[in-house]
Structure 1
Amino acid sequence: MLEEDMDDQWLQTVAMEFNIPITCYLTPFNSDPPHHFINKFRLRWFSPIVEVKLCGHATLAAAHTLFTSGLVDSDIIEFVTLSGILTAKRSSSVPKNGKGQESYYIELNLPNIPIAQFNSSEATMISNALGVDHATVIDIKTTAANDLLVVLPSARHVVDAQPKFETIQNCATRGIIITGIAPPESEFDFYSRFFYPKLGFNEDSVCGSGHCALARHWCNQLGKCDFVAYSASMRGGVVKVHVDEQEQRVLLQGKACTVMEGTLLL
């Protein structure tokens, strides 16, 4: 959605009305004539109840919309956000299913989110909130985004977790990310799920900002910088992850498709 004269209250009201995990708003950074094409936009993200500082999923959707709308004339878009300058890069398109439709990956250049050790004395309370046995919690870390990152023994433990969202909402942190190593026979490196009831939704389907913290953890654990990750929510999703250690950035790759278009009357 293009943000023009709408103030913050309207932006939040529309996001609440949509009632999806994140609604994002775009503003052309310089829309003055004679420039027809614009490759730089302001981008903001709102959950149903609050503005957030970073959202990968909605950034992917915003980039896809711009690439397919004809508003940009480049394979790279810059977004000015609360998390600094982010970029979205479109890969070379190729025919899909022989029907002439384009299929391409979009690579997002996002900030690395640092992680640190968490006070383990609260591990029992956290495991209860997640509906997992205390003994299965391998490690707990805190992220610079004020989330907890809870490491479980396996992908199966991630899938089987039964979170108690009311308890999670009462935790001091913003939300909880759980993760576990993927099965050796799978095509993935790790699984994860993301619980954010304080933001107005219980579980995110595929959380890009969460992977900005997960990338650092699994880079340290597995000793590599490239991953294929699986978000084990009900909808599920695959994310390609690369850690740029020199620039301290995380590159996420994914695909998007347009499922609905419409007009909002205010």
Structure 2
Amino acid sequence: MFGEMGKKAIRYAVVDAFAAEPFKGNPAAVCLLEEEGASATVDDRWMQSVAAEFNLSETAFLARDSSGAAGAAPRFHLRWFTPVTEVDLCGHATLASAHFLFTTVLPEHGKLEFMTRSGILTAKKVPAPGSTGVPGEEQGKLFIELDFPMIGFLECNEMLSIPETLNGAPIVSVHKSATDGDLIVPSP
């Protein structure tokens, strides 16, 4: 659970997101950089090397941000790296990060904020689906709700080779994300 960054120990865990038992779901490594101001001083090449060593689809790096108001939800800088590059957003590694913080670092808190390249993301403990119990835990299971920034979409008249790609499935419309050009193609 501890790795080395220079001479500082780094707490880390591999968390299986979207799973109720070990070795299922989607694994992500989560590294907590506990040194104050670590998000500004940690070398990107070091984080990329750590992600390559874990060799999972994503490795998340967390560093506490102490600039928030007193009484506000704890806030962390969050960055995601694949084995070969940094990415702007990763859902399962965000869920893994929230689970790691809620279970090992801040179990008394019910809400967290993450500052990312994609904006501020929030995570909060919630009651289990269909229950009226205490938020977060039912029969030892932690339920977490994530709130991601909304991405705008633009009308797109480019059909490209979408009908062939979808094996001739009917297409209602084609939209393109305003930020990175991803295509959204709803089908009836």
Sort the TM-score into its range (normalised by shorter chain).
Answer: 0.5 to 0.7
The residue number in structure 1 matching 2:123 is: 88
In 2: Cα distance, 1:67 partner to 1:107 partner: 12
- SS, match of residue 151 in structure 1: coil
TM-fit CA distance, 1:121: 4.1
- SS, match of residue 112 in structure 2: strand
TM-score by length of 2: 0.63
- Shift of the 93–108 alpha-carbon distance from structure 1 to 2, 3 Å rule, reads closer
In 2: Cα distance, 1:48 partner to 1:127 partner: 33
Contact 1:113–1:143 under 8 Å retained in 2: yes
Amino acid at match of 1:126: I
The residue number in structure 2 matching 1:2 is: 32
Aligned length: 138
The residue number in structure 2 matching 1:24 is: 60
- Shift of the 15–95 alpha-carbon distance from structure 1 to 2, 3 Å rule, reads same
- Shift of the 95–112 alpha-carbon distance from structure 1 to 2, 3 Å rule, reads closer
TM-fit CA distance, 1:132: 1.7
Residue 78 in structure 1 maps to residue 113 in structure 2: yes
Q: What does 1:1-266 align with in structure 2 at a 5 Å threshold?
A: 1-3=31-33, 4=38, 6-30=42-66, 39-71=74-106, 73-91=108-126, 92-96=135-139, 102-122=140-160, 125-128=161-164, 130-133=165-168, 136-146=170-180, 147-153=182-188
TM-fit CA distance, 1:79: 1.2
- Shift of the 78–116 alpha-carbon distance from structure 1 to 2, 3 Å rule, reads same
User: Where does structure 1 lack aligned partners over 5 or more consecutive residues?
Assistant: 31-37, 97-101, 154-266
Measured against aligned partners, the alpha-carbon deviations of 1:131-159 in whole angstroms (never above 9, x if no partner) come to 522x5333221112421112234xxxxxx
TM-fit CA distance, 1:90: 0.8
Which structure shows the higher helix fraction?
A: 1
TM-fit CA distance, 1:39: 2.1
Let me know the Cα RMSD of the aligned residues: 2.5
Amino acid at match of 1:2: L
Contact 1:89–1:108 under 8 Å retained in 2: yes
TM-fit CA distance, 1:126: 3.0
In 2: Cα distance, 1:139 partner to 1:105 partner: 35
- Shift of the 117–67 alpha-carbon distance from structure 1 to 2, 3 Å rule, reads same
In 2: Cα distance, 1:119 partner to 1:16 partner: 39
